[in-house]
Amino acid sequence: MRIKMICGLLGVILLLGPALASGVNIYFKVNGIKNESGGTLTDSNYHPYQARLQFYHNTNPAINTNPAKYDPTYVASQYTLTTTGYNKYQLSATNGGTMYIRVWKNVPSGDNKGNYYGKDSTGVSAGTVTAVEKSYDEFKTDYLADVPVNAPAWGSVSESSVRIGSSTDVKLSLSVGFSYSLGSPKIEATGYLVRFWKDGETDPGDGVTAPDSIRVFQLAGGDTGFSLPATDALTSLPFSSGVYHFKIRAFNVYGQGPWSLVKDWPTLSGGGGSLPLNFDLSAFETGKMIINSVSTSTDTTATAVKEAVNAKAGANVVTAVSYWDRLTGVSFTAAFDTSGALVTGSSDFIIKRGVGIQVYTTTAVSGLAL
- Is residue 18 domain-shared with residue 136, that is, in the same domain? yes
Q: Which backbone phi and psi does 351 adopt, to 5 degrees?
A: -120, 125
- Give a yes or no: residue 271 inside a domain: no
- Give a yes or no: residue 273 inside a domain: no
- Give a yes or no: residue 55 inside a domain: yes
Report the run of H or E that residue 143 belongs to, with start and end: strand 143-144
What's the total number of domains in the chain? 3
Range of the domain at 106: 2-144
- Is residue 48 domain-shared with residue 115, that is, in the same domain? yes
- Give a yes or no: residue 328 inside a domain: yes
CATH number of the domain bearing residue 234 = 2.60.40.10
CA-based nearest residue to 332, from 311, 366, 305, 369: 305
- Decide which of 266, 290, 321 is a domain's last residue: 266
The pTM is what? 0.66
- Is residue 77 domain-shared with residue 12, that is, in the same domain? yes
Q: Per residue of the chain (370 residues), give pLDDT as tens.
A: 444 444 444 444 333 344 446 789 999 999 999 999 999 999 999 999 999 999 999 989 999 987 767 766 678 889 999 999 999 999 887 888 999 999 999 999 999 999 999 999 999 998 877 899 999 999 999 999 999 999 999 999 988 877 665 555 667 888 999 999 999 999 999 999 999 988 888 787 776 665 555 788 899 999 999 998 877 777 777 787 788 999 999 999 999 999 999 999 888 754 444 445 566 778 777 777 777 888 876 778 888 889 888 888 889 999 999 988 877 888 899 999 999 999 998 899 888 877 888 898 988 888 777 6
- Is residue 51 domain-shared with residue 139, that is, in the same domain? yes
- Is residue 227 domain-shared with residue 286, that is, in the same domain? no
Beta-strand relationship, 243-252 and 153-163:
unpaired
- Is residue 140 domain-shared with residue 37, that is, in the same domain? yes
- Decide which of 241, 266, 291 is a domain's last residue: 266
- Give a yes or no: residue 272 inside a domain: no
- Is residue 15 domain-shared with residue 132, that is, in the same domain? yes
Cα-based distances in Å from 339 to 166, 316, 319, 322, 342: 39, 6, 10, 19, 9
CA-based nearest residue to 107, from 117, 94, 97, 95: 117
DSSP assignment, residue 44? Answer: G
- Is residue 365 domain-shared with residue 259, that is, in the same domain? no
- Give a yes or no: residue 209 inside a domain: yes
> Where does residue 141 rank: exposed (0-12), middle (13-18), buried (19+ CB within 10 A)?
buried
- Is residue 35 domain-shared with residue 53, that is, in the same domain? yes
- Is residue 140 domain-shared with residue 30, that is, in the same domain? yes
